[in-house]
Amino acid sequence: MSESTTFSPHLDIISNTMSNIPPFKTANEFSMHVEQLACEKKISCLDAVLLYCEKHYLEPSDVASKITKSLKSKLEKDFRDLNYLPKQPQLDV
């Protein structure tokens, strides 16, 4: 059996999976999709981005360019809540 025949079922699976990825033309569309996913599943935005990446066989760095400032601030909050980033001092008002 040749090597190309051996790997073709795997390539078919990958190409079928890649064709199911919603094509986001703008960062706004992607960010809105992630926020909607977070609300529907009742998870954090960070988990929603990771879930999206896992579901579509992507690395988080592949979607980094599609993250808006609004989503970035929500992700930053999630990271602070998980103690991945230092807490910012808050003023008592």
Question: 70-85, pLDDT tens digit by residue?
Answer: 999 999 999 999 999 8
* Residue that has been written with the tokens 């599943």 in this structure: 41
Q: Given a cut of 70, is residue 14 above it in pLDDT?
A: no
The per-residue pLDDT for 89 is 82
Domain layout of the chain by residue ranges: 3-81
Nearest to 77 by CA among 44, 54, 48: 44
Question: 37-69, pLDDT tens digit by residue?
Answer: 999 999 999 999 999 999 989 899 999 999 999
